[in-house]
Structure 1
Amino acid sequence: MQNQLRTSKGFWSAISILLLFQFCLGLYSAQKLTVTHDEYWHLPVGLLGWETGRFDYDRLNPPLIRTWAAVPLLFTSAKAGAPARSSDPADYGDAFLQANPENYHQYYALGRIPILLLSIASGLLLAVWARELFGTLSACLAVLLWTMSPNILANAALGTQDLAIAGFFLATVYCGWKFAKQVSWKWALITGLILGLAQITKYTAILLVPILMIQWFLLRVKNTDVNHDIPRKTILARWGVLLLVSCFVLNAGYLFQGSFQPISAYQFQSSELKVLNQLPPLLQNIPLPLPRDYLMGFDLQRFIMQQSHPTFLDSEWTRTGFRSYYLYTLIYKLPHGVQFLLLLAAFQWFKQRNQSDYISLRTLGMLLTPVVLLVCIASLSNNQLGLRYILPVLPFLFLLIAPLAEQLDLEKNKLYSYAIIVAALTLPFSLRFAPDHLAYFNELSGGPENGGLHLIDSNLDWGQDLYRLKEYLKQHKVDDLGLAYFGTVPPSTLGVPYRLPPEFHPEPGTYAISASLLQGRPYSIRKQDGSRHNLGNDALGYLRFFKPKARLGYSINVYELTPEDVIRWQTAVSRVQRGLPIN
């Protein structure tokens, strides 16, 4: 098999099969899953961008991926509706649903396909770079990790920016690697183009500028393998072209709307940009070479990220974030096969760090820089909502694992080789949860059934199982449903009347409760008429006392409480209040 994979035909056949499998599995998930929380307004806002040429409907995300996802809808009869300008982006989703009541799910499913295509393109790039860095077998292992990753599969089947920015992080650092090695005009232009596209994908891409600079020094300082004969002026000129191209692409992505407005035209809210408003009046006349909607959106997002926000980790809540949140997220959400391979990769590097046939110190630094920088900055944030915020670290972790494939030698290192093979063979095991990749938790964390004890929100419950509730209600007659749904699709689309559950105390009845709300997350839930009700902290936590009758996917629990159940809960509460143990 090794010999076959080393041939061009065998290599590209293997890569094609893996990526085709990922694409088909993504299509299946795209059809099955309910429109998720943020996805509800991303697609309509993207379609509005095509229809109006404006990008100020929702500035919290740049426009590229939204408009990209909406491309298939241009060939259908889909309408964005006529929404009024709103500070609540879910209103754009409501208008879209009202304009397309019969086909709205199919339109969202179509909008997920362009993201799947970006995932395939990212997998191809991963194969190309791993092959150039380490060899053919390493590339096959990297793509296997990519296509079998439940976290990649989850985001590849959703019409959001998270998978796309992971791909653009990979593409930008790859182009930066080429540019640092060759310092050519060609790679300056290509790197600037990709960096610019990344900037109009997600604001996280601002980190790519320091990453490229760190990468440059890691790969060139005191490195005899690169050309040092290039004049300094030429290097500076090519760096200048790279940054200018990036800036041009960013402005073009917003159709140059509001570009080059002076600082005095803005009133910033975030601590980073407020500094500009405090400059002397003369300096406030300096024009900013960025689109107005981009700057306002970046400022708004930074302001939101600096505010206190409820964050849940291991059954504890805080409003200032956990500094260890993303480390634990990786511990709980990465498959054990990937974790074991990372340990083997670290062991192998320490064992062979002085040998030229493994990862050099420069390459290690280049691949670790985006991982460390992104995880550290995300860990300092108050707003921690899920692994998706650090999804770009995954392709770099896969590249760090990839060289293990070149170490396979069943004659000289039988035990070590079998360890790698067995770990790689466990990777498809996570697919047994399809299409519920979003709710994936590894075995030692208790699996997705117990994921809510560790993490919630987009790690487990992002509103993806409302259609399952609809099917459940078709099969089980429920006269008086109490529903608290963590999602933006109006539950009235179920076609079944419902009421809100009682808060802080149980009553007999049938209840369907989202996992995030079950763990106590405050949230503005929808009533039957579409209006909203603010659910307080742990308002439905009493339901954790009871065993659910059914679990729909892994994000909605169904409870049937009898008068006896309520009495049992009241007795347990009374005993706790008196300091007595619960029987």
Structure 2
Amino acid sequence: MPNLKDQLQTSKGFWSIIGSMLLIQFGLGLFTAHKLTVTHDEYWHLPVGFLSWETGKFDYDRLNPPFIRTWSAIPLLFTSAKSGQPPYSSDPADYGDAFLEANPQNYQQYYFLGRCMILLLSVATGVLLAIWARELYSPSAAYLAVFLWSMSPNVLANATLGTQDLAITGFFLATVYCGWKFALNVSWKWALITGAVLGLAQITKFTAILLPLILILQWFIIRYKNKTLENNLSKRSILAKWGGLILSSWFILNAGYLFQGTSQPISAYQFQSSELKTLNQLPPFIQTIPLLLPRDYLMGFDLQRFIMQQSHPTYLNTEWKLDGFHSYYICALLYKLPHAVQFLLLLAVYQWFKQRNHNDDMSLRTLGMLFTPVILLTLIASFSKNQLGLRYILPVFPFLFLFICPLARHLDFHKHKLYSYLVIVAVIPLPLSLRYAPDHLAYFNELSGGPENGAQHLIDSNLDWGQDLYLLKQYVDNNALYDIGLAYFGTVPPSSQDINYHLPPELRPAPGLYAISASLIQGRPYSARKPDGSRHNIGLDMLGYFRFFKPKAQLGYSINVYELTPEDVARWEMAVIRANRGSYPQ
């Protein structure tokens, strides 16, 4: 009878272990997806995807490509869901409002179904991670890679939301994997598969615009002076296959938009971004040249670039800047990666340097291939003016896990006792990072103060994306509150949850009971919902005086409840006088 080690090496044993880990992630994801309130951007993604199924149009909100929105909306086609048939709007939240109004009883269930479709993509990404880790290293390395994936609070947070961030993470991994196969085996099969996956990535999120450059760099990293590969391929054959890759990608991208508006001339557009605006300044005869891409894709990319080029208030470590922080994403990784993962990264770096001269597991080529997307995406995001959350660099996570996972291959308590114990000690606590379920979105590691103190470092989608309105509803009902002061950082109208509220006063406190979102406490400007559904613009730090007071309760780490008495207000006023300045104390 084969022993346990031999059984785990078989295909059946391998996929049993991988499947068990991904099943745990899927179960936790279902629990989280069922619990959380519809988050900020999620509020309109599902309705827009459903509208595209109904109308065949993709111009309701061009800021994101249509694939994942329509993917999430597939289950709704088999329900009695209604879109509400809203008119075109410059505010995408209007589509969410119409969807909510058309489905007042079942809308939360519909969003849950949409979230389940993203969870399926997370499982598929975990399967691909297992395949690639096993091909690169060994089954034991694949186990560690998938364990890191399934136990990651940052991955699980985005896998349970109907947004594009988890999906583009999966397509980044799939595109680079297929590009790796294509570089090793220059065949028509892998050229066309890589092109098709690249096309799917392009209709998932505009971040995928980086992938063609990554594929080119990857090709040279793997093939340049590589004596282990076939190098007698003709330039014509290589160029033909790259042409097939590009053509298949182009076809999938256009098919994703049903070829709508493809081949319109440059003169048919009026671009806003600096990159595309130059096209409108070309001579008239050149502007008659058709652009072989869907109109909605080009307009959406142009709009996104235009928005990303504008100054936007960014928060990091209690400080605000209009042009972002170059250290933003490095700090986000320091605060939001579990310490066990951080330690494993350091151990992987040490192990690579120790064995770089005689270890094929992590050759320079493999290292370059894995870290090209990590470095490129992180650098570009770090110099962006629009920094709203760790989710913008979520695609680097699978590559970091692939860098770590070879550690499992060298576990040997006889030859490498200390090393083996260090790896095991780091791996065992990984599930503890999921103890905050369903509040994975608000996860911060221990040295950063945990989610209770996350707002001292980062806000927005790192901590507070409107996910805890359901907890406020429970709090209001349990305490029989008829009215409450509320400033909510979310797009779901609180009045739709039968919460009676009024907006809190700005700049100066007043006695009363208040529920304030963490992002607004730290000063984020926002267009908040009024009880009648209209908007009120809260300026930068208009509610910052709440930082002076200790909250009465914290709801899911993203909403603080304050009960201010006249004595509390007098104490604040006295502190302002003592500070000898005309604003509230920090």
What is aligned with 1:128? 131
- 1:181-330 aligned at under 5 Å gives the runs 181-330=184-333
Q: What is the percentage of aligned positions where both structures have the same residue?
A: 73
Aligned partner of 1:66 in structure 2 is: 69
Structure 1 residue 376 and structure 2 residue 379: aligned? Answer: yes
Q: 1:165 corresponds to which residue?
A: 168
| Change in 2 beyond 3 A, CA 1:360/1:238 | same
CA distance in 2, matches of 1:496, 1:378: 38
Gaps of 5+ in 1: none
Hey, what does 1:90 align to over in structure 2?
93
For residues 266-297 of structure 1, the C-alpha deviation after alignment (integer angstroms, 9 at most, x for no partner) is 11110111121122222111111100000000
Q: Deviations over 1:224-278 (max 9, x none)?
A: 1111121110000000000010001000000000001111111111011112112
**Does the aligned pair in 2 maintain the 1:41–1:90 contact within 8 Å?**
yes
Which of 103, 108, 123 matches 2:106? Answer: 103
- Structure 2 spans left out of the alignment, 5+ residues: none
Conservation of the 8 A alpha-carbon contact between 2:155 and 2:166: yes
Q: TM-score, normalised by structure 1?
A: 0.99
- Partners of 2:496 and 2:450 lie apart in 1 by 30
1:502 maps to amino acid: P
* SS of equivalent residue, structure 1 residue 224: coil
Partner residue, 2:472: 469
Question: Aligned partners of 1:180 and 1:217: how far apart in 2?
Answer: 9
Partner residue in 1 for 2:78: 75
8 A Cα contact 1:43 1:108, kept in partner: yes
Tell me, yes or no, if the aligned pair for 1:478 and 1:510 is still in contact at 8 Å.
Answer: no
Residue 369 of structure 2 is aligned to residue 404 of structure 1 = no
CA distance in 2, matches of 1:196, 1:242: 10
Whether contact under 8 Å (1:218, 1:362) holds in the other structure is yes
| Offset, 1:10 | 2.0
Distance 1:52 1:317 in 2: 42
Match of 1:460 in 2: 463
Of 341, 345, 349, the residue aligned with 1:346 is 349
In 2, Cα distance between equivalents of 1:553 and 1:516? 13
Question: Paired residue for 1:425, among 425, 428, 434?
Answer: 428
Equivalent residue in structure 1 for 2:536, among 526, 533, 537: 533
Aligned residue in 2 for 1:119 = 122
One-letter amino acid of the counterpart of residue 343, structure 1: L
Secondary structure of the residue aligned to 2:561 is strand
| 3-state SS of paired residue (1:444) | coil
Deviation at 1:84, TM superposition (A): 1.3
CA distance in 2, matches of 1:263, 1:44: 31
State the Cα distance separating 1:3 from its structure 2 match. Answer: 4.3
Partner of 2:335: 332
The AA in structure 1 aligned to 2:132 is W
Contact 2:136 2:361 in 1 (8 A): no
**Which of 438, 445, 449 is the equivalent residue of 2:448?**
445
Which digits, 9 at most, give the CA deviation of each residue in 1:351-377, with x for residues without a partner? 001113320100000000000000000
Alignment partner, residue 27 of structure 1:
30
Distance in 1 (CA, whole Å) between partners of 2:547 and 2:341 is: 32
Shift of 1:178: 0.3
- Label 1:423 to 1:4 Cα distance change in 2 as closer, same or farther (>3 A): farther
Kindly state the Cα deviation for residue 6 of structure 1 after the two structures are TM-superposed.
2.2
Deviation digits for residues 92-125 of structure 1 (CA, Å, limit 9, x no counterpart): 0000000000110000001101100000000000
Whole-angstrom CA distance in 2 between matches of 1:463 and 1:517: 11
CA contact (8 A) 1:151 1:437 kept: yes
The CA distance in 2 between the partners of 1:432 and 1:577, in whole Å, is 44
Q: SS of 1:392's equivalent?
A: helix
| Equivalent in 53, 57, 69 of residue 50 of structure 1 | 53
User: In 1, are the aligned partners of 2:145 and 2:402 still within 8 Å (CA)?
Assistant: yes
Shift of 1:5: 2.6
- Single out whichever of 476-485 and 362-371 deviates more from structure 2: 476-485
Cα deviation digits, residues 1-50 of structure 1 (max 9, x gap): 65443232221111000001111110000100000000000000000000
What is the Cα deviation at residue 90 of structure 1?
A: 0.1
Deviates more, 1:282-291 or 1:55-64: 282-291
Tell me the SS of whatever aligns to 1:451: helix
- What is the aligned residue count? 581
The answer (yes or no) to whether the contact 2:115–2:160 under 8 Å persists in 1 is yes
Q: 1-side partners of 2:10 and 2:125: how far apart?
A: 22
1:385 deviates by: 0.1
User: In the aligned structure 1, how far is the partner of 2:392 from the partner of 2:526?
Assistant: 20
SS of equivalent to 2:320: strand
1:480, distance to aligned residue in structure 2 (A): 3.0
Q: Does 1:549 align with 2:549?
A: no
Map of 1:16 onto structure 2: 19
CA contact (8 A) 1:305 1:382 kept: yes
1:405-435 deviation line (CA, Å, top 9, x unaligned): 0011101111111100111111101110001
Residues in 2 aligned to 1:276 and 1:352: alpha-carbon distance in whole angstroms: 51
Post-superposition CA distance 1:491-541 (Å, at most 9, x none): 102213210000011111000000000000000000000010000111111
SS at 1:391 equivalent: helix
| Letter of the structure 1 residue corresponding to residue 228 of structure 2 | D
Q: Partner residue of 1:41?
A: 44
Query: For the residues of structure 2 that align with 1:439 and 1:356, how far apart are their CA atoms?
Result: 39
In structure 1, the residue matched to 2:143 is 140
Aligned mates of 2:311, 2:7 — CA distance in 1: 55
Residue of structure 2 equivalent to 1:492? 495
- Out of 512, 522, 525, the residue aligned to residue 522 of structure 1 is 525
Amino acid at match of 1:104: Y
Question: Contact (CA 8 Å) 1:352, 1:358: kept in 2 or not?
Answer: no
* Distance (whole Å) between structure 2 residues aligned to residue 76 and residue 430 of structure 1: 36
Distance in 2, Cα, partners of 1:358 & 1:7: 21
Q: Does the 8 Å CA contact 2:144/2:408 hold for their aligned counterparts?
A: yes
